[in-house]
Chains A and B, each alone.
Chain A
């Protein structure tokens, strides 16, 4: 029992820095500021969630509750929006984000192989975050930079004509800076997805 608790604590501590930011009061103040910026309008709920996620990187249950309270709308509605749109993450996201484009142009130029390479290299499946909370791997339907196909984006920087050796070079710095523990092949970082 004791052991289990301890392991849980370690794990939570290690998950992501988002734990710090979900600390109660500063977060609620931040939510309040964002809601105020949009004049407390309920129709702005999507913009509110975007701004919040932009800073906190993901939407924790407490965050969604705070948004519902501040906007005076049912929590169910906030969830319905947060779960519908792809850009919202209800799971913690890493400090670094790698996005691999799966648009048509990227597909015909070998985007799937690029994504597979990223998955192998990072030990993550698309949509997962490394256990130490450092790196999130995502796939996206099209980034509209099709001339660069196949395309990957690492921490907001676009890298075109991606191939395996280029991917290794691009990933080098974040793999080392964060030095995420090599995670097992079978479903790391996905505990909340169940």
Chain B
């Protein structure tokens, strides 16, 4: 095998690709060839690094230098300075939000420093389309160990002892699930990987499938041996075409290498996998619904028990685990349950990947040990809230989860404490919100989501979520009553109790948790007709401060409703009757002027004067 003195690892995750990482890669390859370095320097495209905010990202191996937000125009300088003269280019490095000096090494950047990588251990260092690179980092060693030297009982015991729990949301102990299925006498048995990552705001499964597909395959091979399955399915969301293609390539390469198919590694064990693409239904992330979907039916959940481990795909015993869960398995087998269970808390072992998004400086994917405090994730790793705004809440667990306020920032992140706080681990989406986020609006957002995604099987979920969404819409329009709050709480109980699957059972959580921690915001909307965050359109008025406006015409030109009048160097005025409150003027008004202001409550109504109050569309 040819060796190179330097590897340039270009991130080719979805985030970086959309910022032009392929153009960057081409520019690097050309420049390296032009300088005659093609035998010394290799350009590799890797899976997602997680620090998507800073794309396109380039890591220089083995120096460990981290370059960010690169453009093809930066390439000649970078090659000349770093690769030829050996002087890393400081101006292309990451500068932390609060600091002024660049941090050259990836390992020293706060975003990466506090992470603990198990599932994402290969991120940003291997080309996910080359099985050899996965193998070079101990890949398939665990599968070989499981197939050659371990009995199914030993594998199940090891996974059980590690304390691994399902990473898809509910946190059922994986070892126990496998054991149930292993003990079932019926054959054939099936394995399923649940890659129907539907929670809005969560993208760790996508990233794992794209960045390290073989980790999932290896976990499934081990699982197959443990329960005695000969066939498995990887169910991937239709919205993730790159993940489908990477898994497809991985399957082919694994078959060529004899790691899938008949007589794997000469051990006499047969197992093969098939990709099934989802078709855009949130409920199909529920395990029984997902099984119905693989069978070519509508994705309707069914009553449990019997659990899929006993009665799953085609009525046969089936183990169904989430992508992240599968991707943990190989490391547990390779390094042992004691090592794995040394990480985390009493009840939640190992690490968890969170997608840190929303109003946060360092957006991206982070893998941290269970039990870490929310504060450390949001402020140490995430770098806090942009533009000096105040942290307000973090929404965890998607539509099944809840909002956690700043008083609970010291909460350790594990399955139990999140549930107690009214949220849920879910798949691990963390949406950070600042003072400009309206909590009633967020509750409405999630209820509209679950209402739309309810499959309609259970009336409490189908009708109840709609009613709740309507009440919330009324409140955000400033037309709610105090009785509405009582109704919301009543409906929440009905929907929770009367629904068959997790979608309905958890759908009221966003409302309940916001009512629990932000009741005053609900009351502000209802009693004072005020939206404290100035988000709800009906309660917000846009106004141009005459003493600040310099008459630059920017807002006037951006207004889609032609509601702004004025001339160059003369104060502009918003025609309140014509204003559709899209916020375009607010966004374009230069930061140093800030003449466009949002008002709510008395002042807002006064500014609007006699103009009719436009309804939300």
Inter-chain contacts of A163 with B (CB < 8 A) = 587
Tell me the B343-399 residues at the A interface (CB within 8 Å).
Answer: 355, 357-359, 363-364, 395, 398
Closest to A146 in B: B357
B355 to chain A: which residues have CB within 8 Å? 146
- Specify which chain B residues have a CB less than 8 angstroms from the CB of A44 in the assembled complex: 296
Cα of A160 to Cα of B14 in the assembled complex, Å? 10
Contacts of B280 in A (CB 8 A): 85-88
Selecting from A25-33, A101-109, A174-182, the interface stretch reads: A101-109
Complex interface residues of chain A between 62 and 115 (CB less than 8 A to chain B): 80-81, 84-88, 102-105, 107-110, 113
B303 interface residue (CB < 8 Å to A)? no
Within the complex, the shortest CB–CB distance from B501 to chain A, in Å, comes to 15
On whether A142 and B200 interact (CB within 8 A), knowing A44-B296, A104-B358, the answer reads: yes
Does A43 touch B at the CB level, under 8 Å?
yes
A155 touches B (CB below 8 Å)? no
- Which residues does chain A contribute within 8 Å of B358, judged by CB atoms? 104-105, 108-109, 146, 149
Q: Which residues of B contact A165 (CB under 8 A)?
A: 558, 588
Q: Among the interface residues A47, A103, A117, A149, which one has the most CB atoms of the partner chain B within 10 A?
A: A103
* Cβ–Cβ < 8 Å partners of A140 in chain B: 239
A84 touches B363 (CB 8 A): no
Q: Is A46 on the interface with B (CB-CB < 8 A)? A: yes
Knowing A104-B398, A164-B584, the reply to whether A158 touches B14 (Cβ < 8 A) is yes
A87–B293 Cα distance when bound, in Å, is 13
Q: State whether B279 touches A103 (Cβ < 8 A).
A: no
* Known contacts A87-B238, A103-B200, A148-B18: A108-B587 contact under CB 8 Å: no
Q: Fill in one digit per residue for A13-45: 1 if any B CB lies within 8 Å of its CB, else 0.
A: 000000000000000000000000000011111
Complex formed: what's the CA distance from A166 to B197 in Å? 29
Question: In whole angstroms, how far apart are the Cα atoms of A103 and B19 in the complex?
Answer: 20
Cβ contacts A119-162/B at 8 Å (1 or 0 each): 01000000000000000000011111111110000000111100
Is B203 within 8 A of A144, CB to CB? yes
Set of chain B residues within 8 Å of A147, measured between Cβ atoms: 15, 52-53, 55, 357, 363-364
**Chain A: CB-nearest residue to B275:** A47
Selecting from B81-89, B324-332, B429-437, the interface stretch reads: B429-437
Q: Does B277 contact A (CB under 8 A)?
A: yes
Which residues of chain B (295-328) have a CB below 8 Å from chain A? 295-299
Q: Specify which of A81, A84, A85, A104 is in contact with B445 (CB 8 Å cutoff).
A: A104
Q: Which single member of A50, A102, A164 contacts B587 (CB below 8 Å)?
A: A164
A117 touches B560 (CB 8 A): yes
Judge whether A116 is part of the interface by a CB distance below 8 angstroms: yes
Interface status of B411 (Cβ within 8 A of chain A)? no
Partner of B240, one of A108, A144, A148, A157: A144
B163 within 8 Å of A by Cβ?
A: no
B254 is an interface residue with CB less than 8 A from chain A: no
Query: Roughly how many angstroms separate A110 CA and B446 CA in the complex, as a whole number?
Result: 15
Report the Cα distance A88→B272, complex, angstroms: 29
| Interface presence of B202 (CB below 8 A) | yes
Which chain B positions have C-beta within 8 A of A108? Answer: 358-359, 431, 433, 437, 442
Chain B: number of interface residues, binned into ranges: 35 or more
Q: Are A148 and B298 in contact (CB under 8 A)?
A: no
Task: Please give the distance in Å from A150's CB to the nearest CB on chain B.
Answer: 11
Bound: A47/B453 CA distance, A: 21
Chain B residues contacting A116 (CB-CB under 8 Å) are 582
- The reply to whether the CB of B282 lies closer than 8 angstroms to some CB of chain A is yes
Residues from chain B with a CB closer than 8 A to the CB of A142 are 198-203, 239
| Known pairs A144-B239, A147-B53; A46 contacts B296 (CB<8 A) | yes
Specify the chain A residue showing the minimal Cβ separation from B445.
Answer: A107
Residues of A within 8 A of B197 (CB): 144
B202 to chain A: which residues have CB within 8 Å?
Answer: 142, 144, 146
Report whether A105 and B200 are in contact in the complex, using a CB–CB cutoff of 8 Å. Answer: yes
Contact B449–A164 (Cβ < 8 Å): no
Most chain A beta-carbon contacts within 10 A, residue among B14, B201, B293, B298:
B201
Complex-state Cα separation, A117 to B455, whole angstroms: 30
The docked-state distance in angstroms from the alpha carbon of A81 to that of B298 is 5
Contacts of B429 in A (CB 8 A): 104, 146
CB contact between A144 and one of B14, B298, B364 (< 8 Å): that residue: B14
Complex Cα–Cα for A165 and B584 (A): 10
> What is the bound-complex CA distance between A93 and B358, given in angstroms?
32
Instruction: Given A46-B296, A109-B358, decide whether A145 and B200 contact each other with a Cβ distance below 8 A.
Output: no
Distance in angstroms between the alpha carbons of A149 and B357 in the assembled complex: 8
A116's nearest neighbour on chain B, judged by CB, is B582
Contact yes or no, A104 B201, CB < 8 A? yes
The CB with the most chain B CB atoms within 10 A, among A87, A102, A120, A165, is that of: A87
In the complex, which residues of chain B have a beta carbon less than 8 angstroms from the beta carbon of A88? 279-280
Q: Judge whether A145 and B298 touch: CB under 8 Å.
A: no
Residues of B within 8 A of A144 (CB): 14, 197, 202-203, 206, 237, 239-240
Decide: A159 and B18 in contact? CB cutoff 8 A.
yes
Asked if A43 contacts B282 (CB within 8 A), the reply is no
Q: Does the CB pair B19–A160 fall under 8 Å?
A: yes
CB atoms of A113 and B201 under 8 A apart: no
Known: A46-B293, A81-B298, A120-B560. A141 touches B200 (CB 8 A): yes
Whole-angstrom distance from the CB of A68 to the nearest CB of chain B? 13
Contacts of B198 in A (CB 8 A): 141-142
Nearest-Cβ distance from residue B362 to partner chain A, whole angstroms: 9
| Cα-based distance from A58 to B453 in the complex (angstroms) | 21
In the bound complex, CA of A182 to CA of B197 (Å): 37
Task: Assess A158 versus B18: contact at CB under 8 Å? Given A85-B279, A113-B583.
Answer: yes
Taking the closest CB of chain B, its distance from the CB of A29, in whole angstroms, is 23
Neighbouring B residues of A42 by C-beta, 8 Å: 296
Q: B556 in the interface, Cβ–Cβ < 8 Å? A: no
Least Cβ–Cβ distance between A32 and chain B, in angstroms: 18
Cα A148 to Cα B395 with chains together (Å)? 18
20 CB < 8 A contacts A-B: A43-B295, A46-B293, A84-B299, A87-B279, A104-B429, A104-B442, A108-B358, A113-B582, A113-B583, A113-B584, A117-B584, A141-B200, A144-B197, A144-B237, A144-B240, A147-B52, A148-B15, A149-B363, A158-B18, A164-B584
Known A47-B276, A104-B358; 14 more pairs at CB < 8 Å: A45-B296, A46-B279, A49-B279, A50-B238, A84-B455, A85-B299, A88-B279, A108-B358, A141-B198, A146-B357, A147-B357, A148-B15, A149-B363, A163-B587
A interface list, Cβ under 8 A from B: 41-47, 49-50, 80-81, 84-88, 102-105, 107-110, 113, 116-117, 120, 140-149, 157-160, 163-165
- List the 8 closest pairs (A to B, CB-CB), nearest first: A147-B52, A85-B279, A158-B18, A144-B203, A86-B280, A142-B200, A87-B280, A103-B200
